[in-house]
Structures are given as C-alpha cells and as structure tokens.
Amino acid sequence: MLRLVVDDAGLLWPDVLQKAPGRGSYLCMQSDCLASMNDRRLGVLYRKCHISLPQWLALKERLNNVLEKAIIEQLIRLKSIACVGRDAVMHQMWKNAPLLLIMVNESGAALQRQVMNAVAKRHEMRLKTIPLDDVSEDWLIQVFQRDKVSVVTLPVSRQTEKLQQWCIWHRHLKGRKVSDGE
C-alpha cells in the first residue's frame, strides 16, 4: 500500500517515504488493483479527503515520476556498497551474504545465462538471491556514471527492500507482469 496525501487544491500526491503532512489515504499497488483503477474508484476518497476529480491519469503520471525519483535516489544512497559489472557481480555471487541482483533486460544472453546459472547454484546452496529485473539501464547509467551497466548486486538490507518494493510498484504501474516470487 502506498500512502497518498491531498494538497489544498484537492490533488492526490504519492508519499513514498510516508512522512508528508496532511490528510491521506492508501492506494493498493498490486497489479490487479492498478489495472482496474480509474476516477470512479478514486471517487470514494471525495467524501473522506475532498479530492478533485478527474485525476487518475495525472495521479498515475505523478506516481510514476515519484517512484522513478525515489528509485534513483535510493540507488545513489546505495552506490558505495554496490558491485557493478559482470566480474564484480560474479565475485559477489560466491560469498555467503544475501544479495539483491539487478539485471537489465537488454543485457546480453551470455551474461544473463552466466548470472542466472550462478543464481541457481546459490539457490542450491540455500543462499538468498533476490533477482530484480526490468530496471531501467538509464537509471543505472545515471547513478553509476558508466557508458553501459547491465548487472549490479547489493547486499540485502532494509534499504534494498525499499528499492525492491518501489521497483515492483513501478512495474505494476507500467502494467508489466511480475513473477510469482514478488
């Protein structure tokens, strides 16, 4: 659930960090809920929060922008502990620490196969590896200031759990399918 707050003009704004002042409501960020969301479903908030309608399309755009910004800012905060690139990632795969694995869809088939084989071996050894695909390569290029970034690992923490959740919400908002593990 994502907290939404209402401004003085009756517009709903996402409160990703859940710290904004004011009257709020919660929005289900599951793909099924978002797929059926419209102004009529937002209308129940009219009595509670006095929102202005219609606004679902504008809210969806605000949600997208806020989530992208939050994801990039979280990646920047985690940059110092990230391992970037095939060699660094493969080195991390053989450590016992739980990992968040970020791999862009446009990475080459050979890299995907090599990394996923390492993930399968980690799974056999009962080592936690959370794959997070469908992350924008542009975000990674911006954060890590490289010409190309295809794969990144981060140690699992509260911060990476937030990052994972926001990426899943962003994917749901875009209407893309999510694997059963999410």
pLDDT, residue 30, reads 86
Residue 179 lies in a domain: no
Crossing angle of helices 56-78 and 137-144, in 10° steps, is 40
The structural domain count of the chain equals: 2
Residue 181 lies in a domain: no
Residues 17 and 68 in one domain: yes
pLDDT over 60 at 81, yes or no:
yes
Q: ω into residue 131 within 30 of 0, thus cis?
A: no
Residues 47 and 89 in one domain: no
pLDDT over 70 at 177, yes or no:
no
pLDDT, residue 182, reads 38
Cβ atoms within 10 A of the Cβ of 161, count? 12
pLDDT over 80 at 51, yes or no:
no
CB-facing half-sphere around the CA of 170: CA atoms within 13 A: 21
pLDDT, residue 17, reads 81
Give the range among 80-89, 94-103, 172-181 with minimum mean pLDDT: 172-181
pLDDT band, very low/low/confident/very high, at 110 (cuts 50, 70, 90): very high
Give the span between the Cα atoms of 76 and 140, in whole angstroms.
9
pLDDT over 70 at 133, yes or no:
yes
Residue 50 lies in a domain: yes
Residues 37 and 64 in one domain: yes
Give the span between the Cα atoms of 122 and 126, in whole angstroms.
6
pLDDT over 90 at 180, yes or no:
no
Average pLDDT value for residue range 45-54: 67
Residue ranges with strand state E in the chain: 2-6, 12-14, 24-27, 83-84, 99-103, 129-133, 151-155
Residues 88 and 165 in one domain: yes
pLDDT over 90 at 142, yes or no:
yes
pLDDT band, very low/low/confident/very high, at 181 (cuts 50, 70, 90): very low
What are 11-42's pLDDT values in tens digits? 777 888 888 877 677 778 888 888 777 777 76
Average pLDDT value for residue range 155-182: 79
Residues 22 and 81 in one domain: no
pLDDT over 80 at 96, yes or no:
yes
- Domain residue limits at 84: 77-174
Residues 82 and 140 in one domain: yes
Residues 67 and 135 in one domain: no
* Boundary of a domain, candidates 45, 73, 101: 73
Q: Which residue has the higher pLDDT, 52 or 118?
A: 118
